[in-house]
């Protein structure tokens, strides 16, 4: 691989990461954490490839490799699931409980950096035997595709984190599921259209790419503009989160809850009963 081709391989991800980083308007994320997520996202490429090979060997025993059923299972349940699960694991394991995760848009930043780590290594591997044409096509479609999937993941991870802060365990679990399901669906449809390679599927692919790209750009702008703290003043942010952040000095003092908040917007919904105080280490109510 020439140096010029290598630059073309990493440039799309670099530009997209810069774009997302600048959209994080409230509180910039630690560069060390972002570098870690990028690196681990790249490492997840290896594990995804292993899982994909095993998965394809399994479904190959039951379906013809050129059948619609095989292609659909391969696209959604093998390739998309393996790749998005790896990215999800990286963000959930290494960023979820970090004290820097204190606003809703942070989750989008984390997911995009992990996904673009994956996309960068994948792109470089493709370009070892590729050409400038391959680099350009993948730079326009494949790398941004991973970033688009990550925006969907980050959106729901941010909502799930707010639900955790509000003590809404049911909402947290529901949105964590969506944080994996939605990127698997968007990624799977992308791959399925390319796997089928019929005129209709290719036309569907290009229409889909235009629509989802425009939608995602608008979504990123909206999420950036509406970015809010996970811990708006006046409520207790949940036993575990409060304990962790309190011990790290991130919230040296906080007020007990007097309101319920919508996890999507952080705005108050209705009045609760009398305010209560909690011990930040145990979560036990203080009398």
Q: How many CB atoms lie within 10 A of CB 131?
A: 11
Evaluate if residue 279 carries a pLDDT over 90: no
In a domain, 231, yes or no: no
In a domain, 232, yes or no: no
Evaluate if residue 42 carries a pLDDT over 80: yes
46 shares a domain with 21: yes
In a domain, 254, yes or no: yes
Evaluate if residue 255 carries a pLDDT over 50: no
Average per-residue pLDDT for the chain: 85
Give the bridge partners for 271, in sequence order: 259
In a domain, 38, yes or no: yes
Per-residue pLDDT, averaged over 236-262, amounts to 50
Evaluate if residue 233 carries a pLDDT over 80: no
The per-residue pLDDT for 66 is 87
Residues 6+ apart with CB under 8 A from 177: none
What pLDDT digit, counting tens, does each position of 158-210 carry? 999 988 887 788 889 999 999 999 999 999 999 999 999 899 999 999 999 99
Q: What percent of the chain has pLDDT over 90?
A: 63
Task: Calculate the CA 232 to chain-centre distance.
Answer: 23
The per-residue pLDDT for 138 is 92
274 shares a domain with 147: no
The per-residue pLDDT for 270 is 42
103 shares a domain with 10: yes
Among 44, 50, 69, residue whose Cα is nearest residue 195 = 69
243 shares a domain with 211: no
What pLDDT digit, counting tens, does each position of 88-143 carry? 999 999 999 888 898 999 999 999 999 999 999 999 998 988 789 889 999 999 99
Answer for the pair 3, 10: CB distance below 8 angstroms, yes or no: no
Please tell me the distance from the alpha carbon of residue 240 to that of residue 281, in angstroms, as a whole number. Answer: 8
281 shares a domain with 165: no
In a domain, 74, yes or no: yes
In a domain, 233, yes or no: no
**Domain end (from 200, 225, 250):** 225
The per-residue pLDDT for 263 is 63
106-127 and 81-94 helices, crossing angle to 10°: 130
The per-residue pLDDT for 151 is 98
The per-residue pLDDT for 242 is 54
207 shares a domain with 106: yes
In a domain, 67, yes or no: yes
Residue 268's domain spans which residues?
A: 239-286
Q: What percent of the chain has pLDDT over 70?
A: 80
Both tokens of 113, joined, read: 């950096």
Please tell me the distance from the alpha carbon of residue 118 to that of residue 38, in angstroms, as a whole number. Answer: 7
What pLDDT digit, counting tens, does each position of 184-195 carry? 999 999 999 999
Residue with tokens 């995009």: 112
255 shares a domain with 208: no
């Amino acid at each position: 691989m020439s140096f010029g081709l290598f630059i073309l391989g990493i440039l799309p991800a670099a530009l997209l990461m810069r774009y997302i980083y600048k959209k994080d308007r409230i509180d910039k994320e630690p560069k060390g954490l972002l570098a870690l997520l990028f690196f681990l996202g790249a490492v997840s490429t290896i594990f995804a490839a292993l899982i994909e090979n095993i998965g394809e060997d399994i479904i190959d025993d039951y379906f013809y490799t050129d059948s619609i059923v095989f292609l659909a299972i391969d696209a959604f349940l093998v390739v998309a699931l393996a790749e998005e699960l790896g990215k999800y694991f990286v963000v959930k394991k290494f960023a979820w409980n970090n004290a820097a995760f204190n606003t809703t848009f942070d989750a989008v930043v984390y997911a995009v950096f992990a996904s673009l780590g994956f996309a960068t290594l994948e792109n470089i591997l493709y370009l070892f035997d590729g050409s400038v044409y391959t680099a350009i096509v993948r730079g326009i479609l494949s790398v941004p595709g991973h970033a688009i999937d990550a925006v969907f993941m980050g959106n729901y991870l941010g909502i799930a984190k707010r639900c955790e802060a509000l003590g809404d365990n049911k909402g947290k679990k529901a949105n964590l599921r969506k944080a994996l399901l939605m990127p698997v669906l968007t990624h799977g449809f992308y791959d399925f259209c390319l796997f089928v390679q019929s005129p209709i599927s290719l036309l569907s692919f290009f229409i889909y790419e235009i629509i989802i790209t425009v939608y995602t750009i608008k979504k990123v702008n909206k999420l950036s503009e509406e970015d809010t703290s996970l811990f708006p003043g006046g409520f207790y942010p949940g036993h575990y989160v409060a304990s962790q952040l309190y011990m790290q000095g991130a919230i040296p003092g906080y007020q007990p809850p007097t309101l319920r908040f919508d996890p999507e917007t952080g705005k108050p919904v209705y009045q609760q009963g009398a305010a209560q105080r909690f011990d930040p280490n145990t979560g036990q109510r203080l009398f």
